[in-house]
Amino acid sequence: MKTFQLGKDLARLAVLQRSELTSPKLKKIRKLFGRYLFTNFFSKIFINPAEIGDTYYRVMKNELDTFSNYLNKNQNYLSIGSGIGGLEVLIHSYFKGCKFSFIEKNYVSKKVKYGWDEKNLEAYNNINLLDTFLLKNGMDSKDYDIYDYDKDILPLQKFDVITSLYSLDYHYDFSFYIDYLKKVCSEDTLIIFDTIRAEYFYSVFQNVDIIKEDSNTVHKSKRIACKKFK
Ligand SMILES: C[S@@+](CC[C@H](N)C(=O)[O-])C[C@H]1O[C@@H](n2cnc3c(N)ncnc32)[C@H](O)[C@@H]1O
C-alpha cells in the first residue's frame, strides 16, 4: 500500500483536518472565495481525491516514523481526534494484531477556526466517513470501535498506547480528558500528543520524552511521549 483510497467526501474532510494537504490550486481558490464558500461549495468541485490520498499517505507515514520505535504488535490503542484515521490504518498494517478505540466528534464546524479552542466546540469529522475510510483502507470492523465524544459513554479499559496528533492540548485543554485518561492508563501506558506547552507536562507525568519539534509552524508545538501520571 502506497496511497489511501478516498472518495470526494473523505478528501474534503482530510483537507480540513490537515491544511498541508491543500494543493496550491486549492489554496488559490480558497483565497479567492474565502473559507466558508471554499469549504461548503468549491472544494466539492475542485478536489482531487487521488492526489489527496497520495499526499495524506505520505504525511501520515512521516508522522508514524516519529514514534514507531515506541510501538509493538498486539497492542490496544486509543486514538483521540484521529481525523479520518490514516495513522491508525498504517499502525494496523505495520503492527499485526492491534485493536483500536477511536474517540472523535461527529460534526464539522460551520466556519472552521484553527487554533486554541477554549470551550472545545470546534470539530471537523464525520463518524460514518471515519468508519468508511477504515474499511476502505484494509481495517476489519472487529479490530476497532468508534465513540462519539459528545454522545457515547467512553471506553473503560486499559490501553497500551494513546495517541492524539494535533488534537488534545494542541487545540483544546488536556484538562478536558485528564480524569478519563487516569482511569484508562496503567503504569505502562504511553500517551503521545502534540502540545505548545511541553514543560507543563513534567508536573503531570513522571516520564516525558520530547520526540518531535515543529519550530517552523505558527504554533511551535512539540510532540511528547509520556508515562505514569504523578
Ligand atoms: C487538526 S485535526 C487532527 C486530525 C488527525 N489527528 C491528524 O493528525 O491528521 C483535530 C481532530 O480533533 C477532533 N476533535 C476535536 N475535539 C475533540 C475531542 N474533544 N475529542 C476527540 N476529538 C476531537 C476534530 O474533530 C479533528 O478531527
- Say if ligand 1 is within 6 A of residue 162 CB: no
**Does residue 3 sit within a domain?**
no
- Of residues 63 and 41, more confidently modeled: 63
User: Which of the pair, 205 or 26, is modelled with greater confidence?
Assistant: 205
Of all atoms in ligand 1, which is nearest to the CA of residue 14? 9
Least confident of 20-34, 48-62, 64-78, 92-106: 20-34
> Of all protein residues, whose CA lies closest to atom 1 belonging to ligand 1?
17
User: Count of CB atoms within 10 A of residue 189's CB?
Assistant: 19
Average pLDDT for 152-171: 97
Residues 33, 132 share a domain: no
Q: pLDDT value at position 133?
A: 98
CB of 170 closer than 8 Å to CB of 196? yes
Q: Would 2 be classed as within a structural domain?
A: no
Bridging pattern class, strands 185-195 and 76-80 = unpaired
Identify any residues that bridge with 80 across adjacent strands, giving them in sequence order: 103
Name the band, by pLDDT with cuts 50, 70 and 90, for residue 217. Answer: low
- Report the nearest atom of ligand 1 relative to the CA of 124: 25
Residue 13 above 70 pLDDT?
yes
For residues 200-218, average pLDDT: 90
The predicted structure's pLDDT at residue 72: 97
What pLDDT sits at residue 96?
96
Distances (CA, A) of 29 to 46, 50, 61, 63: 9, 19, 28, 28
- Verify that 41 and 111 share a domain, yes or no: no
Cβ atoms within 10 A of the Cβ of 127, count? Answer: 18
Claim to verify: residue 167 and residue 108 sit in the same structural domain: yes
User: Which pLDDT score, from 0 to 100, does residue 109 have?
Assistant: 84
Q: Give yes or no for residue 112 having a pLDDT over 70.
A: no
Task: Report the CATH number that the domain containing residue 85 is assigned in CATH.
Answer: 3.40.50.150
Q: Look at the chain and report how many structural domains it folds into.
A: 2
- Atom 15 (ligand 1) nearest CA: 123
Q: Which range has the worst mean pLDDT, 25-39, 49-63, 65-79, 189-203?
A: 25-39
Q: What are the angstrom distances between the C-alpha of 24 and each of 27, 35, 124, 202?
A: 5, 15, 22, 40
pLDDT digits (tens, 9 = 90+) for 18-51: 988 988 888 888 888 887 787 777 778 888 999 9
Q: Is residue 6 in contact with ligand 1, taking CB distance under 6 Å? A: no
**Confidence check: pLDDT of 207 > 90:** yes
Q: Which atom of ligand 1 is closest in space to residue 103's alpha carbon?
A: 21
47 with 77, same domain: the answer is: no
Pure H helices in 66-218: 86-94, 127-136, 178-184
Distance CA 67, CA 62 (A): 10
Q: Which single residue is written with the C-alpha cell 486554541?
A: 116
Q: What is the pLDDT of residue 129?
A: 98
In a domain, 17, yes or no: yes
Q: Are 125 and 83 in contact (CB under 8 A)?
A: yes
Residue 43 sits in which domain range?
8-57
Same domain, 53 and 91: no
The Å distance, Cα 170 to ligand 1 centre, comes to: 10
The C-alpha atoms of residue 157 and residue 225 are separated, in whole angstroms, by 20
Judged by DSSP in three states, 20 sits in helix
Query: Which has the closest alpha carbon to 76: 140, 7, 12, 157?
Result: 157
3-state secondary structure of 212: strand
For residues 33 and 154, which has the higher predicted lDDT (pLDDT)? 154
